[in-house]
């Protein structure tokens, strides 16, 4: 029951928000709602018993004749991602408070709608439901970026929409094919879909279809070109939603669909996918070194980081999979933190151009400290969240293939190169006209950043809590592959 | 109690870091050094305890990363080796903290400085206390971070920031090696805990390819951290940081982490002769290379930096000969006299208002007598003049090299003569003859305050007497330090084939040759720099080609810029502009354009002519019928 | 019934096919909307005739019921078709289909 409440609550909140008029009212209402949602997710987390599979199950028939049912529940993997979503949403909402958007009710309503779709994707245990929520997440994302974005928003957002939508259609095709292969009466239920026995050729096609859909979403090189533009043009909240949570859908899909269903194809063609992922790491890292726009730099760094996660999933070892789980959470937290800091700088100086900034640490030491901590998390310094994830990922990939691990490991060098470069050019040095009068963080802004910092160290110091939750389900999924 | 040792510094960091704008300097002056003092006292207690206990077991705090077979507890291992390092880190650390109170008094970032310093001590303690490789790695990267923060402490200056970034990135290159080494250890031994790994390693054959790979990868980490060839160029640049930082991080403790790590993994190294050979060659080459650069440097801190690199090279030479306790001995004495040299140099720089060029110094002997005497002691110690500490530790390594091969001994000897040369050159140019700086500086020269001088004196005492902890048997000593460390190296000693120890006669002879050489250097430099006043020519003076090569540090920085930095930047630009925008993005946009173009073209089929539509329709029906018949 | 069977069914088939083809050709070559409608009517009726013939041949009255059905629907359809033609004529003063090409590209 809790699961369905987690999905419906944001929808209800979203509809109510539309009817509100005053901006202040909207803000408090939406924030409170998102916090309640987070509270419910925590309640679910507490109730959740590790070692059992899909729990908190909700099930109702919908199109019984077609074998479609409203089946929602949570296993360890879903649990972690729902926690991530509900944790980040209040942060993202608070981060938007410093902007005064036009038509705030529509803006916040869309954010809540997005939350509903995301929670739906992560908790759906029915193939068609999964697809419906998957596409539903795209709609608010499109409008948030297309209405409140930067100057070139229409063209960029259209590209983003068509790109990801095209990818998703392949997934739909694969799902329908799988559905048609389930025994009579057909069903979209995950359990049924998992049991479909496919010939190697069929597996290959299904694998390709899924790979295309997820590779675009994540994005994996060379399907990534929509991403830097979109992140750069989207409003801060949009970038955070896309990078922090939405791209996890792709990785989640890989874990949830590709490994159990096309494991043979994965073992045969996984190396090919791995090459793409690892190439993406080096490629995006290299490009990030020379970026001029902070948001673009972070966007490319994100491609590199998620490339490592994807490589970890393809490596199919327990360490890399657990690393992928932890790193999904960590990456979500770190990149939201980075976009938040960049947004704070942009609000104060009206620019994201690295060359125009400098010396901010002199005037805004608190901002500099927060930036440093988040940056350290993102370059995987031990005792921060990034390290646990990257350590496990690289270890797992190493067990699979030494070469890929060594190449993927380059990311720890490159990330230091571009991140420290960005920090040096923006925060350190002497001030100029733009940064001379920059104000330090307000209490609201601190309150937005502090939860992120707490999570950075919490996961870095005590990852056990998060690792244990997902372990049995990750093991089960790996069992399919054996 | 063990937990408290790293806890105090991190507590200090949190207090000073969170309240860096509110805590008054007076409190900071107590909190910063005080926390380290507490750790030091506890370290001493543990050191005294450990002398009596036989077995050392890891102390588990909490499970850190635990997935199936991968079990990494947050655990500390207290044995003689880590106990010795803890003493050095907290002891020398405390002295330098006290010194910093005086040195950084005027700096607006006083609190921030002590916060970072405490964080450094914490990380360094984790590094030496960790009971498994990942915990060591936490400290390993932690000290790298602190080094970054402290080199770029005066962050208004982008040059300093560049130096800091360079240090961090070069360290990270090594760290990747370390990380890969850890992974290989895990896949080989299915554990990362020191005791498990070493126990299993004992059963392996010498020269096992996995072991060689592991040790080589770990050694890459050590090369980065301990500034050996080819990753040494960050250390001279790191001198951009405040001088106490150079003393603590870039001389006494952090850069010796690589030596500690190799000593800690001694059993793995002993079983991989190939790595030992590479390590020895690297160490020897670095020792000579850095020493030769130091001869032509004029910046007082850079000379010391190159000297540090060179001495670290000696330690690696010692390690590669299997003289683990010898290397640790040299590490210890080096911590004393090199910290002293830096602090004394800092005292000089402080007195001259930031001047670091030794050509603009001179004659400080009378103005700063205490600094001069301590500096002299340290110089004599590093040059290896008996009975100062450096003599004993360096002698032990030299004797080991002679056991191995007289050729290597000879090369090492040349290196140590060069050490004597550049150190005495620096001493003479700084403290003797007349002052060569500006009039304004001359009035300003003063002896440093007591808070800075007392640490100097303490370190001077350690530099004088530090050698007595490990007097070799040739002097009738009992090699106390070696005996103390013996349990840690017991496994390796059992494996190593022992060469016949040198007879006392040979040892006397070797010492005599070394000493004679060093004394010759002392007089030669006196003649050259005091009597004939050499070495004061400005940078742009004409010099012969080899001299120019060396004084430009063999153009290594320029070489790296040309073969690494520039190509990467070029690649970055090229990938972005050509591959990303012109190929991939254009292709993807092209797909979209193609759809639009297709639509644009095909729409002309819609002529609007009803007759045409009907004609097509009927044609279609006929075709369908036709194919139906056909099939 | 018996008298009908005297004429072999393939005669009907041939006759209806010719009728149908005349209709098709009429649709294709005529430009007058009214004539096209008539041609279409011819095609429908040829089918109707064929249906009736087969129905009689196979002794199954369902076919003839279909014919009635089709005739009713065709009547309605013609009514609508003519109405459209009238409207077209009112707006364009022509029932030449070549003039009606506004709905292109």
**What is the rounded CA–CA span in Å between residue A138 and residue A150?**
19
**C-alpha dist (Å) from residue A136 to A69, A190, A246, B185, B375:** 17, 19, 12, 47, 73
Contact: C104, B610; criterion CB under 8 Å: no
Question: Do B347 and B455 fall within a single domain?
Answer: yes
Contact: B65, A391; criterion CB under 8 Å: yes
Q: Is C102 domain-assigned?
A: no
Q: Is C65 domain-assigned?
A: yes
Residue given tokens 């007598």 in the structure block: B369
Q: Which chains lie within 8 Å of chain A at 3 or more CB pairs, if any? A: B
Question: Do B451 and B596 fall within a single domain?
Answer: no
Kindly state whether B575 is in contact with chain A, defined as any CB-CB distance less than 8 angstroms: yes
Contact: C104, B608; criterion CB under 8 Å: yes
- Residue C95 near residue C31, CB atoms below 8 Å: no
From the CA of A413, how many Å to the nearest CA of chain B? 6
Chain B interface, best mutation among A215, A290, A392, by max B CB count within 10 A: A290
Contacting residues of B for C103, CB less than 8 Å apart? 606, 608
Contacting residues of A for B137, CB less than 8 Å apart? 382
* pLDDT tens digits for range B242-264: 999 999 998 889 999 999 999 99
From the CA of B511, how many Å to the nearest CA of chain A? 45
pLDDT number for residue B54: 63
Give the count of beta carbons closer than 10 Å to the beta carbon of residue B446: 10
- Whether residue C5 is predicted with pLDDT greater than 70 in this model: the reply is no
Q: Is C105 domain-assigned?
A: no
CATH number at residue C27: 1.10.287.3510
Residues of B in CB contact (< 8 Å) with C are 603-604, 606-611, 614-615, 618
String of DSSP letters for A279-311: HHHHHHHHHHHT--BHHHHHHHHHHHHHHHHHH
Chain A interface, best mutation among B65, B149, B568, B583, by max A CB count within 10 A: B65
* pLDDT tens digits for range B306-325: 999 999 999 999 999 888 98
- Whether residue B136 is predicted with pLDDT greater than 90 in this model: the reply is yes
* pLDDT tens digits for range A347-357: 988 888 998 88
Instruction: Report the domain count for chain B.
Output: 2
- Residue B93 near residue B253, CB atoms below 8 Å: yes
Percent residues over pLDDT 70 in chain A: 100
Confidence of residue C4 (pLDDT cuts 50, 70, 90): low
From the CA of C17, how many Å to the nearest CA of chain B? 14
Question: Do B588 and B441 fall within a single domain?
Answer: no
- Residue B112 near residue B241, CB atoms below 8 Å: no
Q: Is B80 domain-assigned?
A: no
Q: Which of B539, B573, B603 is the last residue of a domain?
A: B539
pLDDT number for residue A211: 92
From the CA of B66, how many Å to the nearest CA of chain A? 7
Q: Which chains lie within 8 Å of chain C at 3 or more CB pairs, if any? A: B
Give the count of beta carbons closer than 10 Å to the beta carbon of residue A128: 23
CA-nearest residue of chain B to A320? B67
**What is the rounded CA–CA span in Å between residue A305 and residue A310?**
9
Question: Do B534 and B572 fall within a single domain?
Answer: no
Chain C interface, best mutation among B602, B606, B608, by max C CB count within 10 A: B608
Structure tokens belonging to residue A435? 């940064």
Q: What domain range is C72 assigned to? A: 2-94
Kindly state whether A23 is in contact with chain B, defined as any CB-CB distance less than 8 angstroms: no
**What is the rounded CA–CA span in Å between residue B619 and residue B328?**
95
In this prediction, the residues of chain A whose per-residue pLDDT falls under 70 are 51-52
pLDDT number for residue B218: 94
* Crossing angle for the helix pair A385-400 and B158-189, to the nearest 10 degrees: 50
Q: Is B44 domain-assigned?
A: no
Kindly state whether A386 is in contact with chain B, defined as any CB-CB distance less than 8 angstroms: no
Question: Do B516 and B623 fall within a single domain?
Answer: no
Do C and B make contact via 3 or more CB pairs under 8 A? The reply is: yes
Q: Which of B21, B64, B572 sits opposite A287 (nearest CB)?
A: B572
Q: Which of B607, B614, B615 sits opposite C101 (nearest CB)?
A: B607
Instruction: Report the domain count for chain C.
Output: 1
Q: Is C99 domain-assigned?
A: no
pLDDT number for residue B618: 86
Q: How buried is A180 (Cβ within 10 angstroms: 0-12 exposed, 13-18 middle, 19+ buried)?
A: exposed
Lowest-pLDDT range of A378-382, B93-97, B186-190, B442-446? B442-446
Contacting residues of B for A395, CB less than 8 Å apart? 70, 182-183, 186
pLDDT number for residue B499: 66
pTM of this prediction? Answer: 0.90
- Residue A358 near residue A429, CB atoms below 8 Å: yes
Structure tokens belonging to residue B579? 């591959």
Contacting residues of A for B184, CB less than 8 Å apart? 398
Average pLDDT of the segment spanning B64-81: 89
Contact: B179, A413; criterion CB under 8 Å: no
From the CA of B598, how many Å to the nearest CA of chain C? 13
* pLDDT tens digits for range A376-398: 999 999 999 999 999 999 999 99
Kindly state whether C100 is in contact with chain B, defined as any CB-CB distance less than 8 angstroms: yes
Give the count of beta carbons closer than 10 Å to the beta carbon of residue B377: 25
The number of C-beta contacts closer than 8 angstroms across A and B is 126
pLDDT number for residue C3: 52
CA-nearest residue of chain B to C97? B610
pLDDT number for residue B128: 93
pLDDT number for residue A52: 64
Q: Which of B539, B571, B604 is the last residue of a domain?
A: B539
String of DSSP letters for B196-244: HHHHHHHTSPTT-HHHHHHHHHHHHHHHHHTT-TTS-THHHHGGGS-HH
Kindly state whether C97 is in contact with chain B, defined as any CB-CB distance less than 8 angstroms: yes
- Whether residue B92 is predicted with pLDDT greater than 80 in this model: the reply is yes
Q: How buried is A130 (Cβ within 10 angstroms: 0-12 exposed, 13-18 middle, 19+ buried)?
A: buried
Our measurement of the distance from residue B238's CA atom to the centroid of its chain's CA atoms, rounded to an integer in Å, reads 10
Chain B interface, best mutation among A50, A167, A225, by max B CB count within 10 A: A225
* pLDDT tens digits for range B455-465: 999 999 999 98
Strand pairing class (B70-77; B58-67) = antiparallel
Q: Is C66 domain-assigned?
A: yes
Chain A interface, best mutation among B572, B575, B586, B590, by max A CB count within 10 A: B572
Structure tokens belonging to residue B80? 């003689």
- Whether residue B535 is predicted with pLDDT greater than 80 in this model: the reply is no
pLDDT number for residue A136: 93
* pLDDT tens digits for range B465-501: 888 888 887 777 777 888 888 888 888 888 877 667 7
pLDDT number for residue A67: 83
Contact: A225, B588; criterion CB under 8 Å: yes
Q: Is B580 domain-assigned?
A: yes
Which has the closest alpha carbon to B489: B328, B288, B306, B276? B328
Three-class SS state of A71: strand
Contacting residues of C for B610, CB less than 8 Å apart? 97, 100-101
Average pLDDT of the segment spanning B352-377: 87
Q: Which chains lie within 8 Å of chain B at 3 or more CB pairs, if any? A: A, C
Confidence of residue B630 (pLDDT cuts 50, 70, 90): confident
* pLDDT tens digits for range B371-414: 999 999 999 999 988 888 988 888 888 888 888 888 899 999 99
Q: Is B582 domain-assigned?
A: yes
CA-nearest residue of chain C to B605? C105
CA-nearest residue of chain A to B168? A416
The ipTM estimated for the assembled molecules is: 0.92
Structure tokens belonging to residue A241? 């939603």
Contact: A362, B187; criterion CB under 8 Å: no
- Residue A89 near residue A332, CB atoms below 8 Å: no
Three-class SS state of A271: helix
From the CA of A289, how many Å to the nearest CA of chain B? 7
Contacting residues of A for B145, CB less than 8 Å apart? 376, 381
Contact: A428, B62; criterion CB under 8 Å: no
Contact: C101, B614; criterion CB under 8 Å: no
String of DSSP letters for A170-239: HHHHHHHHHHHHSPSSP--BHHHHHH----HHHHHHHHHHHHHHHHHHTTPTTS-THHHHHHHHS-HHHH
pLDDT number for residue A170: 93
pLDDT number for residue B171: 93
pLDDT number for residue C1: 47
- Whether residue B208 is predicted with pLDDT greater than 80 in this model: the reply is yes
Q: What domain range is B580 assigned to? A: 557-630
Q: Which of A291, A361, A398 sits opposite B187 (nearest CB)?
A: A398
* pLDDT tens digits for range B163-178: 999 999 999 999 999 9
Summary mean pLDDT of chain B:
89
- Residue B50 near residue B83, CB atoms below 8 Å: yes
CA-nearest residue of chain C to B611? C28
Q: Is B214 domain-assigned?
A: no
**What is the rounded CA–CA span in Å between residue B571 and residue B577?**
10
């Amino acid at each position: 029951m809790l699961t369905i409440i987690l999905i419906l609550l944001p929808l209800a909140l979203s509809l109510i928000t539309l009817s509100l008029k005053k901006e202040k009212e909207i803000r408090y209402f939406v924030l409170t709602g998102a916090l309640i949602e987070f509270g419910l997710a925590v309640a679910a987390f507490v109730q959740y018993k590790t070692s059992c599979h899909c729990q908190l199950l909700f099930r109702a028939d919908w199109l019984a004749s077609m074998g479609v049912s409203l089946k929602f529940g949570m296993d360890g993997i879903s649990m972690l991602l729902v926690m991530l979503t509900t944790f980040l949403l209040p942060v993202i909402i608070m981060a938007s408070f410093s902007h005064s958007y036009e038509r705030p009710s529509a803006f916040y309503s869309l954010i809540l709608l997005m939350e509903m779709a995301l929670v739906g994707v992560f908790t759906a245990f029915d193939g068609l439901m999964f697809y419906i929520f998957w596409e539903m997440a795209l709609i608010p994302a499109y409008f948030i970026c297309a209405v409140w974005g930067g100057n070139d928003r229409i063209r960029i957002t259209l590209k983003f929409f068509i790109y990801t939508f095209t990818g998703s259609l392949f997934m739909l095709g694969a799902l329908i094919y799988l559905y048609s292969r389930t025994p009579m009466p057909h069903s979209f239920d995950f359990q049924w879909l998992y049991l479909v026995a496919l010939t190697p050729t069929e597996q290959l096609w299904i694998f390709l279809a899924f790979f295309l859909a997820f590779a675009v979403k994540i994005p994996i090189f060379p399907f990534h070109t929509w991403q830097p533009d979109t992140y750069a043009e989207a409003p801060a909240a949009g970038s955070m939603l896309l990078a922090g949570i939405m791209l996890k859908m792709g990785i989640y899909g890989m874990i949830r669909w590709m490994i159990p269903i096309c494991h043979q194809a994965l073992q045969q063609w996984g190396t090919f996918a791995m090459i793409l992922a690892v190439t993406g790491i080096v490629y995006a890292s290299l490009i990030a070194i020379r970026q001029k726009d902070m948001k673009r730099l972070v966007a490319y760094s994100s491609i590199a980081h998620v490339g490592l996660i994807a490589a970890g999933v393809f490596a199919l070892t327990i360490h890399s999979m657990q690393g992928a789980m932890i790193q999904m959470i960590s990456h979500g937290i770190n990149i939201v933190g980075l976009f938040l800091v960049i947004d704070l700088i942009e609000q104060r100086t009206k620019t994201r151009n690295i060359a125009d900034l400098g010396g901010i640490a002199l005037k805004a030491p608190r901002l500099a400290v927060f930036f440093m901590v988040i940056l350290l998390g993102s370059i995987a310094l031990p005792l921060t969240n990034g390290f646990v994830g990257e350590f496990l990922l690289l270890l797992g990939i190493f067990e699979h293939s030494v070469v890929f691990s060594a190449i993927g490991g380059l990311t720890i060098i490159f990330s230091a190169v571009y991140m420290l470069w960005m920090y040096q050019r923006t925060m350190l040095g002497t001030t100029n006209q733009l940064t001379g009068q920059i104000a330090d963080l307000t209490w609201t802004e601190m309150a937005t950043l502090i939860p992120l910092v707490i999570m950075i160290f919490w996961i870095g110091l005590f990852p056990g809590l998060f690792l244990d939750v997902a372990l049995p389900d990750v093991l089960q999924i790996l069992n399919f592959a054996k | 109690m063990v937990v408290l040792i790293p806890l105090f510094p991190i507590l200090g960091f949190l207090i000073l870091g969170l309240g860096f704008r509110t805590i008054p300097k007076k409190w900071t002056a107590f909190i910063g050094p005080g926390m380290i003092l507490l750790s030091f006292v506890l370290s001493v207690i543990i050191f005294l305890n450990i002398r009596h206990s036989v077995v050392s077991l890891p102390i588990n705090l909490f499970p850190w990363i635990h997935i199936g077979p991968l079990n990494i507890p947050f655990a500390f291992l207290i044995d003689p080796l880590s106990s010795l390092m803890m003493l050095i880190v907290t002891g020398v650390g405390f002295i330098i903290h006290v010194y910093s109170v005086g040195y950084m008094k005027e700096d607006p970032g006083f609190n921030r400085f002590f916060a970072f310093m405490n964080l450094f001590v914490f990380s360094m303690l984790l590094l030496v206390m960790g009971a498994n490789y990942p915990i060591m790695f936490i400290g390993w990267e932690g000290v790298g971070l602190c080094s970054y923060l402290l080199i770029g402490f005066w962050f208004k200056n982008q040059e300093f920031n560049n130096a800091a970034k360079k240090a961090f990135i070069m360290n990270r290159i090594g760290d990747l090696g370390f990380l890969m080494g850890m992974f290989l250890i895990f896949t080989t031994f299915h554990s990362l805990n020191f005791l498990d790994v070493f126990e299993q390693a004992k059963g392996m054959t010498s020269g096992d390819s996995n072991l060689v790979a592991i040790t080589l990868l770990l050694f890459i980490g050590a090369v980065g951290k301990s500034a050996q060839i080819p990753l040494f160029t960050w250390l001279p640049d790191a001198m951009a940081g405040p001088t106490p930082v150079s003393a603590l991080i870039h001389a006494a403790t952090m850069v010796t982490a690589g030596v500690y790590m190799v000593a800690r993994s001694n059993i793995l190294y002993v079983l991989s002769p190939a790595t030992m050979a590479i390590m020895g060659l690297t160490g020897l080459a670095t020792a000579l290379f850095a020493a030769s650069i130091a001869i032509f440097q004029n910046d007082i801190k850079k000379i010391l930096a190159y000297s540090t690199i060179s001495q670290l090279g000696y330690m690696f030479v010692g390690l590669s000969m299997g003289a683990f306790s010898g290397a640790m001995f040299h590490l210890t004495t080096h911590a004393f006299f090199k910290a002293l040299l830096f602090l004394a140099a800092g005292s000089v720089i402080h007195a001259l208002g930031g001047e670091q060029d030794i050509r603009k110094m001179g004659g400080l002997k009378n103005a700063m007598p205490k600094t001069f005497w301590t500096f002299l002691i340290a110089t004599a110690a590093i040059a290896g003049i008996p009975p100062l500490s450096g003599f004993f530790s360096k002698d032990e390594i030299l004797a080991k090299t002679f056991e191995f091969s007289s050729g290597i001994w000879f090369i090492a000897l040349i290196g140590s003569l060069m050490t004597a040369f550049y150190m005495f050159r620096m001493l003479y140019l700084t403290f003797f003859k007349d002052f060569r700086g500006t009039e304004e500086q001359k009035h300003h020269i003063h002896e440093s305050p007591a808070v800075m001088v007392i640490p100097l004196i303490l370190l001077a005492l350690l530099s004088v007497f530090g050698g007595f902890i490990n007097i070799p048997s040739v002097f009738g000593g009992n090699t106390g330090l070696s005996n103390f460390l013996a349990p840690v190296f017991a496994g390796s000693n059992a494996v190593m084939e022992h060469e016949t120890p040198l007879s006392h006669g040979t040892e006397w002879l070797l010492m005599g040759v070394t000493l004679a050489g060093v004394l010759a250097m002392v007089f030669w430099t006196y003649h050259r720099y005091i009597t004939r006043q050499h070495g004061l020519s400005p940078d742009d003076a004409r010099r012969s080609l080899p001299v120019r090569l060396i004084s430009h540090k063999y153009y290594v920085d320029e070489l790296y810029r040309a073969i690494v930095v520039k190509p990467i930047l070029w690649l970055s630009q090229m990938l972005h502009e050509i591959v990303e925008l012109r190929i991939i993005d254009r292709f993807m946009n092209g797909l979209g354009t193609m759809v639009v173009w297709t639509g644009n073209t095909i729409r002309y089929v819609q002529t609007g002519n009803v007759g045409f539509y009907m004609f097509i329709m009927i044609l279609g029906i006929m075709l369908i019928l036709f194919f139906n018949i056909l099939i | 019934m018996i008298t009908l069977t005297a004429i072999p069914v393939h005669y009907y088939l041939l006759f209806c096919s010719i009728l149908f083809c005349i209709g098709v050709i009429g649709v294709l070559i005529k430009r007058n909307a009214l004539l096209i409608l008539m041609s279409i009517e011819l095609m429908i009726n040829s089918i109707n005739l064929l249906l009736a013939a087969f129905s009689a041949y196979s002794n199954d009255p369902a076919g003839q019921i279909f014919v009635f059905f089709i005739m009713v629907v065709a009547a309605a359809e013609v009514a609508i078709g003519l109405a459209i033609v009238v409207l077209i004529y009112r707006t364009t003063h022509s029932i030449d289909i070549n003039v009606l090409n506004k709905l292109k590209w």
